[in-house]
Structures are given as C-alpha cells and as structure tokens.
Structure 1
C-alpha cells in the first residue's frame, strides 16, 4: 500500500514536470501518422476507433493504437498494445517496452480518446512525442492542443469535428 502511494506520487511528479516544460510544437505539416490512446475499460470497439484514422486518410501502417486497462490479467481485446498500472515502477518509470516505443514515436497527431480521469492515461498523453495532440474534454487543458467536447460513445461526432478543425488548420491532405 505504501508503494502504491509512492508510485502515484512519483507519476504525478513526473507528469507535472512534463506539463510544465511542454512547448507547443505546432507546425503546418500535413498529418500522415497517428497514435491513439484509449481506455479499454471504457471503449471496446476497435473498428469504430480505427474509423477515425480512415476519415483522416491515415494509412493502416501509419496508425498505432494503445489501450489501457486496470485489469491485471491478460486482456483479450484485439488491441495492438495494452498496458496497465503494473507497467509503471514504484518511482513512476515505465517498464513496458511496447509502451515506451509508443511514447518515443513522433506521431503527426495523437488522439487521446478517453474520458475517465486516470493518472496513467494522462501521463502517457503528456509524455508522448506527438507533434499535435487532440483529446476529449478534460479539466486540465495542458494535455492537448485541440480539445473536442463530445460524448465518448459518439465517435461519428468526434470524427466530424476533428476533420473540420484539421481542415481549418490546413493539416489534411485533401
């Protein structure tokens, strides 16, 4: 129990450090690669999530999806990569090679498609090296460059709003 508290405090400290040192990396480059972070405890429809990339004309080989779950057993969803709280050490460092690889990838856009306030999800969003970050509405506005306030289960509305704003920002190849 003490280690859990220490772990949470360490992750929060690392998270605040990342957010305080974050500089906007906005450029006019077109979007060609995408990463999506989801909470598998909230969303289980992989095909619906993939339609976000399809709507933006992202090729399948340029799309990576990572899912978080609080489940300690092996997740049977068809996600590419899963992580859980056990993938963080007591001092807040990541000990999952696939998760670290996701964080080190410089996506053109990162979609944070989750609504629950989960520390590990927020950390992964903040630590990502993506150039442009988009998310569902959250109280802390430092995580994302663009926030779209929609219901989590209304993927069609999210796609429509995302497409609209990315066209305005001249980020799409259309």
Structure 2
C-alpha cells in the first residue's frame, strides 16, 4: 500500500518538474488526425463520443483512442488500447506499449477527456506529441492549449463547443 502511494507521489513530482517545459507553439494546419484519451473510471460512453466526432466530420480511421482505468479485472475482455496506473513507473515513464505508441503519434488534435487530475492521465497528455491539446477547464491548465468548461457527462456539449471553437480558429 505504501509503495503504491510512493510510486504515485514520485511520478507526480516528475510530472510537476517537467510540466514547466510545455511547448505552447501551435500550427495553423487543419485537423486530420485525432487522439482521444478517455478516463473509463468516470466516463464509459467512449463509443458515443467517437460517433459524435465522426458525425461532426472527422474520419473514423483518423481517430485513435486510448482508455485509462484505475484497475482492470483479470477476466475483463478488453479489445481496445488501454492502460492503468500500474503501467506508470516510479519516474513517470509509461511502460505499456499501447500507451507508448499513442503518446508518440503526432496527432493534429489530442482530446484529453477527463476532468479530474490523475497522474497517469496527465503523464500521457504531457508526453503526447500532439500539436493541439484540448481538455476540461477543471483539469491541469498547464497541459492543454484550449480548455472547455463543462462536465464529463455532457459529451455532446463538449463536442459542440470544441467544433465551434475549432471553426473560429480555422482548424477545420
């Protein structure tokens, strides 16, 4: 129990030190590829979220999803990329290949779909190679370029606001 707490504490320290070096440069290219980082512990409608993104004009083959859950059951059948807090090392590095591949993809847009500050989610968001990062206003403000003030259950409001501002920013 103590070692799990210490591992999380250590990873938070590394994240806090490295989050001071956030790249704020944003390109003016239109959005083609999208990465969605979802906290399944709180939000279990990721298929509905993806469907809404497709309805708004994004191509489903250009959307990649990575799901996070605090812990997965051993017999749980999971057929999508995922990770949990046990996949984060003491020094804040990601040890699961699916999460490593996700963070190293150069997405045009990363949607950090979580509204609570959890170290494993923040690490993937921070280390992501995405050019433009969008998240909730209640999450860590240093990690995202753009924040939307709504609740995680209101995914339709989130997507509507996202696309409204992406049009204003000439990203679509």
1:166 corresponds in structure 2 to: 166
| Shift of residue 145, structure 1, vs aligned partner | 0.6
**Structure 1: gaps of 5 or more residues:** none
SS in 2 for 1:112: strand
Distance 1:139-1:91 versus aligned 2 partners, 3 A rule: closer
Q: Hey, what's the Cα distance between the residues in 2 that align with 1:156 and 1:39?
A: 17
Separation of aligned partners in 1, 2:115 and 2:139: 10
Stretches of structure 2 lacking an aligned partner (at least 5 in a row) = none
Check whether the contact 2:22–2:143 (CA below 8 A) recurs between aligned residues.
no
Residue 62 (structure 1) aligns with:
62
**Does the 8 A contact of 2:113 with 2:152 survive in 1?**
yes
TM-score, length-scaled by structure 2: 0.90
| Equivalent in the alignment of 2:92 | 92
Q: Which residue of 1 aligns with 2:53?
A: 53
Q: Does 2:88 correspond to 1:116?
A: no
Instruction: Say if 1:133 and 1:56 are closer, same or farther in 2 by CA, change over 3 A.
Output: farther
Question: How well do the aligned residues superpose, as a CA RMSD in angstroms?
Answer: 1.8
Pairwise mapping of residues 26-41 of structure 1 onto structure 2 (< 5 A)?
26-41=26-41
SS of 1:135's equivalent? strand
Deviation at 1:76, TM superposition (A): 3.8
Mark the CA change 1:164 to 1:143 in structure 2 (over 3 Å): closer, same or farther.
same
Q: Cα offset for 1:81?
A: 0.8
Report the alpha carbon displacement of residue 64 of structure 1 after superposing the two structures with TM: 0.6
User: Which residues of 2 match residues 4-19 of structure 1 at below 5 A?
Assistant: 4-19=4-19
Residues 142/50 of structure 1: CA separation in 2 closer, same or farther (3 Å cut): same
What CA deviation, in whole Å up to 9, does each residue of 1:2-46 have, x standing for no partner? 432332233113212331111212111000000011111111113
Please state how far the C-alpha of 1:152 moved relative to its aligned partner.
1.1
What is the TM-score with the length of structure 1 in the denominator?
Answer: 0.89
Provide the secondary structure at the position in 2 that maps to 1:3.
helix
4+ long deviations beyond 4 Å: none
Cα distance in 2 for residues equivalent to 1:28 and 1:159: 20
Find the aligned partners of 1:154 and 1:2 in 2 and give their Cα distance.
36
